[in-house]
Chains A and B, each alone.
Chain A
Amino acid sequence: MELTISLVVNGLMLGSLYAMVSVGLTLIFGITKVINFAHGEFMMVGMLLAYVITSYLGVHPYLTLIFIIPLLFVLGVLVQKFLIEPLKDSDEHIQIFATVGLSIAMINLVLMIAGSNNFNTPASGMRHTLSLGPATVLTGQVVIMMCSIFMVGGLHLFLSRSQTGRAIRATAQNRNAAQLMGVHVSRINMVTFGIGIACVGIAAVLLSPLYPVNAQTGQSFVLIAFVIVVMGGLGSITGAFIAALIIGLVDSFAGFYLGSSLKDVAVFGIFLSVLIFRPSGLFGNARKLAHVS
């Protein structure tokens, strides 16, 4: 019983981290209809920047958010403007290759600059353990969990209440109609991509005191992010959040019972089952164009 509680708590913690990573991905897809294969690399970049700034300025890693959020937002905007936007009328496979190419370029750029070393951001108190009943968690994990809830909630409010949010939802549902309503669609796409990447930047910063980063770190997160995004229904933020928690739990339990090397098989097994049997996701609509909620 205690074991189960531990595994559940661990799973939920993991799930909230995954949620923060995936929410940006699903937002990007829901609006721009682009599958950002390079999403994990932005996370890696965020973690590296957190490391660099923390190490050289000696500040608490969370303070780097001040710098990283706007930076990653701008990066997202630039990627959308110069890479994705020019290809919006191309075949799907061309768009896939664009982000795959970006991913490869980013990973190898980091390899060239920093080699294949691991970088550990100083814990700065985020690795203190707390006891939640029989389970032990790190303070950093609790912060992540709370932030993920705020992030999802905040995005939800933003999309439903603000003018920009409305414009974003309109673009997701019907690009042409939105344009006719005066929505500057390409600008909305840029903003959305920026927000999506900024979200993953937040996740990166919060994760950095807890987890080492190297050039390949992004790859280990991105596949899981895709699983979650598909499961949750592309474009659905709440769907992604719930799916993330589920996957977190699966990861936690499978990790214990199957061992760390085989647990990915469970996750990918679920992924393939969802893709094959219910590609619209557990919470998505049968319509191909899922709306952002």
Chain B
Amino acid sequence: MNDKTISSSSSGGYGGVMQWLLNNKSLLFITLASLIVIPVMVDDDYIYHIFITICLFAGLSTAWNIVGGYAGQLSLGHAIYYGIGAYTGMLMLNAGISPWISMFIGAILAAGMAVAISYPCFKLQGPFYALASIAFLEVFHIISLNWVGLTGGANGVMVPLELGWSTMIFRERLPSLVIAFGLMSFTLVVAWAIRRSKLGFQLIATRERESAAKGAAIRTVHVRLYAAAISAGLTAMLGTFHGSYLTYIDPESAFNLTFSIQIVLFALVGGLGTVFGPLYGTILLVPITELARGWLGSSAIGLHGFVYGVVLILVVLFMPDGIMSVIQRYLPTTRRRRFNTNEDSPIDHVHLDDIKPPARPPIGELVLKVEHLDKHFGGLHVTNDVSFNLYKGEVLGIIGPNGAGKTTVFNMISGFLNADSGSVAVLGEYGHFSFPKTPGAFARNGVGRTFQIVQPFAAMTVEENIMVGAFYRFRSVEESRKVAREIAYELGLYRFLDEEAKNLPIGGLKRLEVARVMAMRPRILLLDEVMAGINPADLREAIELIKVIRNSGISIIAIEHVMQAVMELSDRVIVISSGEILAQGKPEEVVKNEAVIEAYLGKEVTDASTE
């Protein structure tokens, strides 16, 4: 029993039971079991109905969470896919086809629609994506009202009451509950599988920090489209079931904005981005309101909506991470340790004395050729005819006053910015040069880069952060995890593997950036001011670290202000000032260059020194 369990912090005697109860898996098992057991035992039609509704919404919320929580795309129009599924099921049932089959057809249609809608909308920022999704929903609503030939318009579609498993229409409620429970469980399994898979990591990385994800060669648009399609398909399947259950569907109930928002509400209350959060959110909210509606009858019109609205506001203000975050706070610590760096001793580094850098290989062939790069930002000439070469295994330092345009050059040699003219040639896998244009293309050609403002995936652990990079080279989660652990060890982050990235101090974050990029096994490493803000003791280590990287054959370009590092590490140095290259050459020569001194310290100093 370690410090973080509930038994030591609160009521001692109940500790054991509470702990067992709140253990994630037990809670889940009990919850799922009760969804079947309780209605069967109570055996009341209305209770059955409530539990079927719970299963349905839990499934819908979980499906939504795949694209809303994991991928971070806040779709408020998910009812579109529900409606597609419901209408497909009903119309096909009227044509004699069982919902067991039409479920999949509806899913495919919905998935296709999701891709078509999402693709143009992904570049929209959060609120605009939400607005666009609402607009699409309204369009569907209007079309379904007006395309009377297909949908029956406002009259909706009914199905003949043929009972039986093949039509999913029953007199008793239990079979419907079984189907609802089955579909919900299927959705939960899919969501869980995605979360643990490579796709899950890529989605979360994309959600957290799209630019860094692109830098790790994640195809951010593709992964979100997969998520959107899967989410839509699952939603449609649940819609098909629900259509049969209700034996009636009309545009008002199928393409309903409030319905869409409810799904999202449950996921939010439970915890966006968690696997089981939506399930718990639904279980918490649906019974409250359904029961209230049952007791108060028609005089309660608006009551459940009002409760939802207020709950949403309260959750947003006081519990934005949802129930799951509250549950996890009381979990016995399994994977997620929470180091409170104010309480514990400051995170100290692992000394790298044991690691002896392997012998340094001689500097090899040309790996990067930058020619005549030029860039304007409006009237500002930020890069003026910059050309340089980089050879295998060498360290090239880029120095210059603030605002000289160093990071701009970096952006142009990693795909985050396109030059107005000039070229960037990268030596590829098989010996010829290519001219990549996008961050993904550069990453695939072996160019890895860190960012001046560190960009960790804050909600993921250190290990997961590094794995995101490793996924570039390795297919499976297990291999990536292994590589991530190795690199963490090499870089002195091993003890913090399970720590959430946002808890690391700045030095650790910088190492994490490097680790993530290293996991991609780049040929060229671009380091943007990794030494900034490090204290002198860490500085020594950081320099040794870069030597280790260099000696393994990786070529490094480093923007640096810390002169000690620049002088010690660089084989050659380039000085950039006002967008131009002022000087190139060995470090000792460059720092004595008059023009360079003038750029840093001003004309008076040079005049004074030559007097």
Pick the residue among A107, A108, A261 that contacts B142 (CB under 8 A).
A261
Contacts A/B (CB < 8 Å), 24 sampled: A90-B320, A92-B125, A93-B72, A93-B74, A95-B127, A97-B312, A98-B316, A101-B312, A102-B309, A103-B309, A105-B305, A107-B302, A107-B309, A110-B302, A112-B301, A112-B302, A227-B135, A261-B145, A264-B139, A265-B142, A268-B135, A271-B132, A271-B135, A275-B128
Assuming the contacts A97-B268, A116-B301, A264-B138, asked whether A106 and B130 have C-beta atoms less than 8 A apart, the reply is no
How many Å lie between the Cα of A107 and that of B305 in the bound state? 8
Residue of A with least CB distance to B264: A97
CA distance in complex: A264, B257 (Å): 16
Q: Which of B297-332 contact A (CB under 8 A)?
A: 300-306, 308-313, 315-317, 320
Whether the Cβ atoms of B320 and A94 lie closer than 8 Å is yes
Q: In the assembled complex, how far is the CB of residue B607 from the closest CB belonging to chain A, in whole angstroms?
A: 36
Q: Mark B123-165, 1 if CB is under 8 A from A, else 0.
A: 1111110111011101100110110000000000000000000
Asked if residues B136 and A279 are in contact (CB atoms below 8 Å), the reply is no
Give the A-binding residues of B (Cβ under 8 A): 72, 74, 76, 120-121, 123-128, 130-132, 134-136, 138-139, 142-143, 145-146, 257-258, 261, 264-265, 268, 272, 300-306, 308-313, 315-317, 320
Give the residues in chain A near B261, CB-CB below 8 Å.
100, 104
A83-B317, A94-B320 are known contacts; what are 7 more A-B pairs with Cβ within 8 Å?
A35-B127, A97-B268, A105-B305, A108-B306, A111-B306, A265-B143, A275-B132
Which listed residue, B142, B268, B308, touches A104 by the CB 8 Å rule?
B308
* Contact A272-B135, Cβ < 8 Å, known A101-B310, A106-B309: yes
Minimum CB distance partner of B117 in chain A = A272
CA A101 to CA B132, docked complex, whole Å: 18
- B308 to chain A: which residues have CB within 8 Å? 101, 104-105, 108
- Asked if B127 and A96 make an inter-chain contact with CB atoms under 8 angstroms apart, the answer reads yes
The answer to whether A115 touches B127, judged by C-beta atoms less than 8 angstroms apart, is: no
- Chain B, Cβ-Cβ closest to A102: B313
Query: A115 vs B301: C-alpha distance in the bound complex, in angstroms?
Result: 7
Cα(A151)–Cα(B123), bound, Å:
34
| A13 interfacial by beta-carbon distance below 8 Å | no
| Cβ-closest chain A residue relative to B317 | A86
- Chain B residue numbers with a CB within 8 Å of A215 are 302
**In whole Å, how far is A254's beta carbon from the nearest beta carbon of chain B?**
12
Q: B306 to A109, Cβ gap below 8 A?
A: yes
Whether, in the assembled complex, A87 has its beta carbon less than 8 Å from a beta carbon of chain B, the answer is yes
Chain A residues with CB under 8 A of B145: 261
CB within 8 Å of B: which of A63-92?
83, 86-87, 90-92
Which residues of chain A have C-beta atoms less than 8 A from B315's C-beta?
Answer: 97
Which A residues are within 8 Å of any B CB, using their own CB?
35, 83, 86-87, 90-98, 100-112, 115-116, 215, 219, 223, 226-227, 230, 261-262, 264-265, 268-269, 271-272, 275-276, 279, 288
Which 7 A-B pairs rank lowest in CB-CB distance, beginning with the nearest? A105-B309, A111-B302, A101-B312, A108-B305, A104-B309, A108-B306, A92-B126
A276 to B308, CA, bound (A): 32
CA–CA, A268 and B142, complex, Å: 11
Q: Main SS of chain A's interface residues?
A: helix
CA distance A288 to B237 in the complex (A): 39
Contacts of B74 in A (CB 8 A): 93, 96
Q: Is the CB of B142 within 8 A of A262?
A: yes
B126 near A93: Cβ-Cβ < 8 Å: yes
**B306 surroundings in chain A (CB, below 8 A):** 104-105, 108-109, 111-112
Question: Which residue of chain A has the shortest Cβ distance to B143 in the bound complex?
Answer: A265
Is the beta-carbon distance between A108 and B302 smaller than 8 angstroms? Answer: yes
| Residue of A whose beta carbon sits closest to that of B136 | A272
Residue among B123, B258, B312, B315 with the most chain A CB within 10 A?
Answer: B312
In the complex the two chains form, is B128's CB within 8 Å of A261's CB?
no
CB of A213 to closest CB in B, whole Å: 15
- Taking CB atoms, residues of chain A closer than 8 Å to B120 are 276
A84 to chain B, nearest CB (A): 10
The interface residues of chain A lying within 8 Å CB-to-CB of B311 are: 101
Are A105 and B126 in contact, with the CB atoms below 8 A? Answer: no
Residues in B neighbouring A100, C-beta threshold 8 A: 76, 261, 312
User: How many whole Å from B121's CB to the nearest CB in chain A?
Assistant: 7
Residues on A with C-beta less than 8 A from B300 are 112
Chain B residues closer than 8 Å to A271, beta-carbon distance: 131-132, 135
User: Nearest-CB distance from B30 to chain A (Å)?
Assistant: 29
Q: Which residues of B contact A219 (CB under 8 A)?
A: 257
Q: Are B309 and A276 in contact (CB under 8 A)?
A: no
Cα distance A90–B315 when bound, in Å?
13
Among A93, A96, A264, chain B packs the most CB atoms within 10 A around the CB of: A93
Name the B residues within 8 Å of A90 (CB-CB): 316, 320
For A111, give its contact among B134, B135, B265, B305 (CB under 8 Å).
B305
- In the complex, which of the residues B121, B134, B316 contacts A276, with contact meaning CB atoms closer than 8 Å? B121
Across-interface contacts of A104 in B (CB, < 8 A): 258, 261, 305-306, 308-309, 312
B307 to chain A: closest residue by CB: A108
Question: Across the two chains, which residue of chain A brings its CB closest to B302?
Answer: A111
Partner of B303, one of A106, A108, A269: A108
Partner of A101, one of B127, B136, B257, B313: B313
Given A96-B130, A272-B136, A275-B132, are A101 and B142 neighbors across the interface (CB < 8 Å)? Answer: no
Chain B residues, CB < 8 A from A272: 132, 135-136, 139
Residues of B within 8 A of A107 (CB): 302, 305, 309
Q: A35-B127, A112-B302 are in contact. Are A223 and B134 (CB under 8 A)?
A: yes
Q: Are A223 and B138 in contact (CB under 8 A)?
A: yes
Report Cα–Cα, A230/B157, bound state, in Å: 36
Q: Which residue of B lies closest to A271 (CB)?
A: B135
Partner of A269, one of B139, B146, B305: B139
For residue B303, which residues in chain A have a CB less than 8 angstroms away from its CB?
108, 112
**Bound complex: CA of A227 vs CA of B76, how far in Å?**
16
A105 — which chain B residues lie within 8 A by C-beta?
305-306, 308-310, 312-313
B281 to chain A, nearest CB (A): 13
Question: Distance in Å from the Cβ of B277 to the closest Cβ of chain A?
Answer: 14
Contacts of B312 in A (CB 8 A): 97-98, 100-101, 104-105
